[in-house]
């Protein structure tokens, strides 16, 4: 899988001083434009994900994510996912990052997968204080793995799915979340955007490129559980991916 913290930067980062940088820097109605622009150009020049984001440029990055086109969203999302931030809310940054990667496809999607695999292994930035949200990173790696071309082996995909089931079984409902009113990856706290996770599960696991294949059929079951279209005991999901 090649986990790589610099993969997204290498694939889609805009050039230092480019018009894209100016657009991001002006996102807060132009307020403190020069300060934001200077901070953004410093990030672009270094290449490595930031360890911490201060108010400049965090404020304009947060305002920009999800509204600036897939390539820019992928880059901005990678910064917000990797860094310690003022608001400690990496989970709300993950869906726009995933949507951007899926929309771009190709080399950019592969880069996003490598970056997200690094995030799951290293738990950078705000993730150590959001440990209950770590299964969502595993879910993201699974989604991107399904969509890369050529896809990983069936064994790799089933291993990722099994790991996700185990993480959720341990952390969400103490081993009894399947069959409850609120299935896995449907957030219990207001900051968790439940609808977007169901949409991603349907897009990739149920209706994605592996639909109709052996492993695709098993992933579709997981997707339907996440989408509230099917209920299974946790033991059946363990068996499905064993």
- State residue 85's pLDDT score: 94
Whole-angstrom distance, CA of residue 143 vs CA of residue 95: 11
- State residue 171's pLDDT score: 61
Closest listed residue to residue 100, CA positions, set 87, 109, 113: 109
Same domain for 10 and 98? yes
- Which secondary-structure segment (H or E) carries 151? none
Domain that holds residue 216: 134-242
Structure tokens at 212: 């109709």
Considering the entire predicted model, what is its pTM?
A: 0.91
- State residue 175's pLDDT score: 44
Query: From start to end of the chain, where are the E strands?
Result: none
Query: Which residue has tokens 């929309």?
Result: 103
- Which secondary-structure segment (H or E) carries 165? helix 154-171
Rounded mean pLDDT of the chain?
88
Same domain for 212 and 111? no
- Note the pLDDT tens digit of each residue in 194-233: 788 889 999 999 999 999 999 999 999 999 888 878 877 7
Number of domains, the chain = 2
Q: Domain ends where: 94, 129, 164?
A: 129
Same domain for 139 and 229? yes
Same domain for 165 and 86? no
Same domain for 35 and 78? yes
Whole-angstrom distance, CA of residue 194 vs CA of residue 95: 11
Looking at the chain, the whole-number percentage of residues with pLDDT higher than 70 is: 90
Query: Which residue has tokens 């080399």?
Result: 107
What is the full DSSP assignment across 84-116? B-SS--HHHHHHHHHHHHHHH-HHHHHHHHHHH
- Note the pLDDT tens digit of each residue in 11-67: 999 887 789 999 999 999 999 999 999 999 999 998 899 999 999 999 999 999 999
Same domain for 42 and 110? yes
- Note the pLDDT tens digit of each residue in 92-108: 999 999 999 999 999 99
Give the alpha-carbon dihedral of 64, 65, 68, 71, to 10 degrees: 130
């Amino acid at each position: 899988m090649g986990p790589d913290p610099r993969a997204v930067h290498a694939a889609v980062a805009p050039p230092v001083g480019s018009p894209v940088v100016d657009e991001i820097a002006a996102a807060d109605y132009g307020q403190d434009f020069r300060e934001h622009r200077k901070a953004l150009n410093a990030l672009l020049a270094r290449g490595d994900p930031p360890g911490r984001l201060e108010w400049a440029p965090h404020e304009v990055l947060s305002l920009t994510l999800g509204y600036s086109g897939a390539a820019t969203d992928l880059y901005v999302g990678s910064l917000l996912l990797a860094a310690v931030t003022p608001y400690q809310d990496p989970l709300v940054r993950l869906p726009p990052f995933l949507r951007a990667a899926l929309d771009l496809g190709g080399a950019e999607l592969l880069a996003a997968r490598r970056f997200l695999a690094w995030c799951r292994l290293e738990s950078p930035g705000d993730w150590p204080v959001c440990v209950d949200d770590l299964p969502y990173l595993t879910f993201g790696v699974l989604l991107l793995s399904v969509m890369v071309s050529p896809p990983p082996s069936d064994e790799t995909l089933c291993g990722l799915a099994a790991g996700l089931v185990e993480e959720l079984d341990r952390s969400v409902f103490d081993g009894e979340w399947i069959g409850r009113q609120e299935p896995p990856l449907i957030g219990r706290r207001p900051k968790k955007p439940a609808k977007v996770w169901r949409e991603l599960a349907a897009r990739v696991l149920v209706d994605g490129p592996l639909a109709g294949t052996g492993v695709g059929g098993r992933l579709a079951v997981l997707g339907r559980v996440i989408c509230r279209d099917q209920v299974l005991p946790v033991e059946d999901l363990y068996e499905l991916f064993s």
